[in-house]
Structure 1
């Protein structure tokens, strides 16, 4: 798969000079959830049926970050590099990453079609039913259809409905905020995942008999609700079940400024300081609480471990 970064205007970009006729799925595709997968799959299928390249165009950073609306937009569900990897798994041949800046934000719908899509030899564009483009989101799928005639065909993909409602990034965030990782996984098509580096913590877990990996999460990941989870971790090429807490450790701290992420990996004692760990959220066990004694805390940790082992055993047999 070829990855091409573009900045508007693209007239002199090498990508234009070497471009081949293509079908292009266009969108931000935050999370690459089942609805996005449906759009991209239709683009890939259309490309193959018509002897064209199957391509995706996405935008970075998110338009709301550039336009000063970050209060309306939380961290992406999927950082750019992870999003691109999911495109690859869907059979995409070329990914265009368009830098979204103030100049590009001012491009009209007609300019987008004439000076972006046509130079890239887009013969078919595939977009979701709620796709918008151009300055102030003035362009809609029907606008693209009209502007594309006669040389660019447009396929408009209807919403992907699951459990009576459309699949959306907003719905996935709400599930994660609500402590419903199973629902998020169903909408995404796979468990929600974050990634981080193992750093040294306070060393308290080992003293309690439950050593933990303190994970400093990479930027760009949406962090689910604080609390205790059953997880699957991937480290050093191995998948390991475990239990994870996101929180402020109220039994030991009164005012920890930021929540921390600590994972206890079952039957695993290797030194992984400095290693990158991927965490998949499988099930929410409970909210974080302050315990009256260390013995109460240890008893609860033991119960959490037993519950997580049972849940993960059943999950891994699916």
Structure 2
């Protein structure tokens, strides 16, 4: 898969000089959830049927971040590197990363079609039903269809429905913020994951018999609701059952600057420091709470570990 970064205007870029006829899926695609997958798969299928290159265009950073409307969009369900990995698995031959800056934010829908899509030799564009483009989101799918005539065919993909609801990044974020990883997994088509590196923490877990891996995120992933989870941790290419806590460790601290993410791998005894780690959220166990003694905490961690092991074993049957 070739990855090409674009800046507007693109008229003299090497991407234009080497462009070949293609079918292009266009969108931000945060989460690459089942609705996004539907759009991308349709574009790849259309490309194969027509003998064209199958490509994807995404935008980075998020438009709302550039336009001062970031809110919770300062974090991502799939930061860029993770998103690219999902695109690769979906069969994209080329991915264009369009730099979303204030200059590009001012591009009109017609300019996007004439000075981005046509120079890239887009013969067919595939977008979701709620796709918007151009300054202030003035362009809609129907706008793209009209502006693309006669040389760019446009396919508008219907919403992907699940349980009577339209699958969306917002629904995924809501599920994670409410501590419902199972619901998020159904929307995503797989468990939600966070990638990071194991760093040194306070070392207290080891002293009470439950060593934990403190996880420093590799990128600004969306962090699920604070609490205790059953997760699958992947280290050195191997997946391990684990129990993970996101929180402020109230038994030991009055207030931390920010929540800490730490995992206890149930069957791992090696040195984790400095290693990359991926955690996949499977089930929410309980909210974080302050314990009256270390013994109470140990008993609860033991119970959490047993519950997590049971849940994860059942998932693997």
Give the 5 Å matches for 1:116-265: 116-265=116-265
- Structure 1 residue 267 and structure 2 residue 267: aligned? yes
Is the 2:60–2:100 Cα contact (8 Å) retained in structure 1? yes
Moved more, 146-155 or 197-206: 197-206
After superposition, the C-alpha distances for 1:178-217 in whole angstroms (9 at most, x for unaligned) are 0000000010011000011111111111111111111112
Gap regions ≥5 residues in structure 1: none
The aligned residue for residue 12 of structure 1 is: 12
Distance 1:209 1:72, change over 3 A: closer
2:59–2:100 Cα contact (<8 Å) kept: yes
**How far is 1:257 from its partner?**
1.5
Unaligned runs of 5+ in 2: none
Tell which deviates more after alignment, 243-252 or 198-207. 198-207
Q: CA deviation at 1:73?
A: 2.9
Aligned equivalents of 2:254, 2:62: Cα separation in 1: 36
Q: State whether residues 74 and 220 of structure 2, in contact with CA within 8 Å, keep that contact through their aligned partners in structure 1.
A: no
Deviations 1:235-292 (A, max 9, x none): 1111111100000100111111111011100121101101110010000000000011
Tell me the distance in 1 between the aligned counterparts of 2:309 and 2:72. Answer: 38
Q: Which residue of 2 aligns with 1:282?
A: 282
Alignment of 1:23-38 (within 5 A): 23-38=23-38
* Cα distance between partner residues in 2 of 1:178 and 1:291: 23
The Cα RMSD (Å) is: 0.8
1:44 counterpart = 2:44: yes
Q: Distance in 2 between matches of 1:82 and 1:238?
A: 19
Runs of 4+ in 1 over 6 A off after TM superposition: none
| Contact 1:44 1:91 (C-alpha < 8 Å) held by counterparts | yes
Give, in whole Å, the separation in 2 of the partners of 1:192 and 1:238: 18
Q: TM-score, normalization: structure 1?
A: 0.98
Shift of 1:15: 0.8
**Counterpart secondary structure, 1:58:** strand
Task: Give the count of matched residue pairs.
Answer: 317
2:22 match: 22
TM-score, with structure 2 as normaliser: 0.99
Partner of 1:41, secondary structure, is helix
The Cα shift of 1:74 comes to 4.3
1:106 paired to 2:113? no
Q: Deviations over 1:120-178 (max 9, x none)?
A: 00000000000000000000000000000000000000000001000000000000000
Distance 1:141 1:18 in 2: 27
Matched-pair contact (CA < 8 Å) for 1:64–1:72: no
Instruction: After superposing the two structures, state which structure 1 stretch, 111-120 or 66-75, moved more.
Output: 66-75
Deviation at 1:72, TM superposition (A): 5.8
Q: Secondary structure at the match of 1:301?
A: helix
| CA distance in structure 1 between the partners assigned to 2:73 and 2:312 by the alignment | 33
For the residues of structure 2 that align with 1:34 and 1:184, how far apart are their CA atoms?
11
Partner deviation per Cα, 1:102-125 (whole Å, 9 max, x = no partner): 000000000000000000000000
Residue 71 of structure 1 and its aligned partner are, at CA, apart by: 2.3
